[in-house]
Structure 1
Amino acid sequence: MIWPVLGEGEAIRALGGQQRRRAGPGCTFGRRRRPRSRRGGDRWWYGDLGLWSACHGGQRQAAEFFLQRGGDVNWVGYDQLTPLDAARRTGADDLVTWLRDHDAKSTSEPS
């Protein structure tokens, strides 16, 4: 489930759908605004964290989207796991292979 990371409209577009509702600037549809990152603004939110979350959920199409937006395949996220570790823990073997093709490493591998 990637829409809590992106927002419903962007998640729908990322997966090839179309957004159905429109809103004016600043509308959050009752959700809190996304937090500002201390580490590079939108790249962290839309790249690294998004890629990690997509891999944690076993969502290859979403992972490709976040990789194109600058996500780091070796970013260490929650539980000290990289996207590769998160995909492995989820059991998404095709995603693990795809990440390996993009030079992803596990936290257990030497740097």
Structure 2
Amino acid sequence: MMPEIVRRLETAALPAEEVSGPFWNACRGGQLATAKYLLERGADLNWPAPWSGQTPLDIAEQAEHREVAAWLLERGATRAKKGSGPDAS
């Protein structure tokens, strides 16, 4: 997956909105090298997924990717506020 991400980002600069979703997914999948690469290219460290409201830190912790979660915390990542998801009232 990484070669395709590099190819896409090297051919055109993408706005943060288009890099943050893949960053979130890299954190969910425990893909630390990919997450680092995407953060360096403008991903939002605390991007809340529109479908769940979870931040990259939330999903890394939920998936028990401790190394990714620790790296996110070192960079100042935050957890979503309770009741901030799409179903919050």
Q: Is the 8 A contact 2:16 2:44 kept in 1?
A: no
Q: Which structure has the highest helix share of the two?
A: 2
Tell me, in whole angstroms, the C-alpha distance in 1 between the residues paired with 2:48 and 2:74.
Answer: 18
Tell me, in whole angstroms, the C-alpha distance in 2 between the residues paired with 1:83 and 1:73.
Answer: 7
Alignment pair present for 1:84 and 2:57: yes
Gaps of 5+ in 1: 15-40
* Corresponding residue for residue 10 of structure 1: 4
* Corresponding residue for residue 85 of structure 2: none
Alignment pair present for 1:53 and 2:47: no
3-state secondary structure, aligned to 1:100:
helix
Aligned residues: CA RMSD: 2.1
Structure 1 residue 51 displacement after superposition: 1.0
What is the count of residue pairs matched by the alignment? 75
Tell me, in whole angstroms, the C-alpha distance in 1 between the residues paired with 2:81 and 2:31.
Answer: 23
**Percentage of identical aligned residues:** 29
Between the two structures, name the one with larger relative contact order (CA 8 Å, sep ≥ 6). Answer: 2
The Cα offsets for residues 62-94 of structure 1, whole Å up to 9 and x where unpaired, read as 000110110111110131100000101111001
Tell me, in whole angstroms, the C-alpha distance in 1 between the residues paired with 2:66 and 2:56.
Answer: 13
Return the letter of the residue paired with 1:91.
E
Larger Rg belongs to: 1
